[in-house]
A and B are shown apart, each in its own frame.
Chain A
Amino acid sequence: MSVVGLLFLLMGAMAVGSALLVVTTARLVHSALWLVVTLGALAGCYLLLGAEFVAWVQILIYVGAVVVLLLFALMLTRAPTGVQTGLTTGNRVVAAATAGVVGLVLVTVVVAGFGGARVSVDEESVGSATSMGDAIFRHWVLPFEVLSVLLLAALVGAIVLSRGRASSGEETP
């Protein structure tokens, strides 16, 4: 096995292992940090596959913004430095089973769809900014626009929800 293959396996194992730690650790903030490790390991996988642009965007968006926002929310609500009890839900068996089944379905789909496909990682153009831009803004431009509308709706919805109480109290003409 090549060095890249070995590293890829290591990164994958790291992602899965830290993902398990996310749901099992007894400290809320630590579980957010294990999530950082998971996402970072994923970014490492992308890098090893030659998708440099995707890897750094993954770090920038998920590690640098999403989890930081998560941490922000945790600190805003409750985040003692000590161990917390009762964080694990009572439905853990069902949850684990669901996660396992979803994972199985995803793996099946990917294997069925791309099982025999071979992409040369050495080609520069696989994950570069140019090829990503071409793919998104030529082939996938409609899904991209639909997604952006969806995100905009979510944004407006969040604002409406957060302002709902304040405006219902004021606007009674």
Chain B
Amino acid sequence: MIVQALGVRTVDDLSEFGTDPWWLSLIKAVLIFVFLLLLTLFNIWFERRVVARMQHRAGPNKNGPFGLLQSLADAMKLMLKEDIMVKAADRLLYVLAPVISVIMAFLAFAVIPFGPVVDVPFTDRQTPLQLTDLPVGVLFVIAVASVGIYGIVLGGWASGSTYSLLGGMRSTAQVISYEVAMSLALVAVFLYAGSLSTSEIVNAQQRLWYALILLPSFIIFWVSMVGETNRAPFDMPEAEGELVAGYFTEYSSMKFAMFFLAEYINMVTVSAVATTLFLGGWRAPWPLSLWDGANAGYWPVLWFLAKVMMFMFVFVWLRGTLPRVRYDQFMALGWKVLIPVALLWTVAVATIRAMTLDGGLDRRVLVGGALVAVLLFLLLSIVGERAPKEEPEAEEQPFDPFAGGYPVPPMPGQRLPRPEPAGVVPGGAQPDQEDDTARRSATEEGD
């Protein structure tokens, strides 16, 4: 069951799991719990420091060395805050929602492999650095993540407030849409690894990371994992400029802290999943892998952590760089770009995989065929591109900023009246407002 290759003992068979005595499983579970808690404290500090650097600020640097204890202090402060129960809330669900969120966030880590089979200190036992594994491990992670949405949805609804409800609804639509693209991106990995178990997928990447051969899948997964975790620039469920704080507007004290914890653990979870499925999991990256000992013992935990922190840095980087996208743009990206591309790519990978497995085709033929397909696609996209059909002009209605008694934005086709610059001499050569908008729209369509 244990292969002895290059001094690295990896899990060869899933029957390796489930043989641990109860105390060892307990230790592993507690270690994962503590690891996630500490990593969350660290990540909050990390995010604040990195964003601060990006904005030419110092960031938290007072409490503890480099300000590392800042998040701990914040957590203590949150615990001492008043626990507010909103009058209109559905009490049971209001309490249950953050709990669901946080439990599901922790649960997914049960099947993430941290390393190969190692010796347990002070005993003569050997155990894989992974709590457990299932033949359908990745499916388990996706399923648990999809149940985790209930925390957000129910939290938004049970608060009994409009902002919360809107945040919950946005989150629902968002997570459902991006889950499709995410799962489709994973199909290619399953096809190549021939397994849904996380430890076997890591083993299958011994020679080459899937991020290299399945680059489109990797990119789609990366984009959708930002959407799935409600992080900037896709953080519409909690957009503070629009919804106060979205689904957790009414939450305070420890309940709020649990939502906070769940968000950061979810980020770590999706990063860990991406690492496991695309970046070779705990396996050492190339220059390091030349050293035989790199993949043995407890060293792999370090490589694993480094890869996860790389994803975390990108999360922070995105937040520090990009403005929040509009909701319709976000949905259009998900449904009109990511899902079709993922579908096409899945079909392509399945075809290539079937051909390779049948062993009937030369690689040169394959590359040639792919080139021809790409050329055809480019040709079609150039030839097929007609001038966009003239949209029927909506009947010109002057823009009424208070239509129906409320302040409203302009309808499509309507233009905001140009603000009069201060100091313009009234009665000068001012064109009539309506002529002006008509002429402007005409010149813009001519472009």
A residues sitting closer than 8 Å to B (CB atoms) are 27, 29-30, 33, 36, 52-53, 56-57, 59-60, 63-65, 68-69, 71-72, 75-76, 79, 81, 128-129, 170
Contact = CB atoms under 8 A, between A and B. Distances in A.
Contacts of B169: 72, 75-76
Contact of B172 (A59, A60, A68): A68
A71 B154 CA distance: 9
Contacts of B153: 68, 71-72, 75
Contacts of B150: 36, 68
Interface stretch (B75-83, B134-142, B208-216, B268-276): B134-142
Contact of B136 (A68, A71, A76, A129): A129
Nearest to A43: B143
17 contacts: A56-B143, A59-B146, A59-B147, A60-B142, A63-B146, A63-B147, A64-B143, A64-B145, A65-B146, A68-B149, A68-B150, A69-B172, A69-B176, A71-B153, A72-B173, A81-B90, A81-B158
A68 B157 contact: no
Interface string B140-171: 10110111011001101110100001001100
Contacts of B305: none
Contacts of B88: 81
Interface residues of B, number: 32
A81 B160 contact: yes
Contacts of B90: 27, 29, 81
Contacts of A59: 143, 146-147
B431 interface: no
Interface in B289-312: none
A72 B150 CA distance: 11
B146 A129 contact: no
B236 interface: no
Contacts of B140: 56
Nearest to B91: A81
A90 to B, nearest CB: 27
B196 interface: yes
Given A33-B93, A56-B140, A76-B169, 18 more contacts: A29-B93, A52-B136, A56-B136, A56-B143, A57-B139, A60-B139, A64-B143, A64-B149, A65-B179, A68-B153, A69-B172, A72-B169, A75-B165, A75-B172, A81-B158, A128-B135, A129-B135, A129-B136
B159 to A, nearest CB: 8
A69 B176 CA distance: 8
Nearest to A57: B139
B173 A81 contact: no
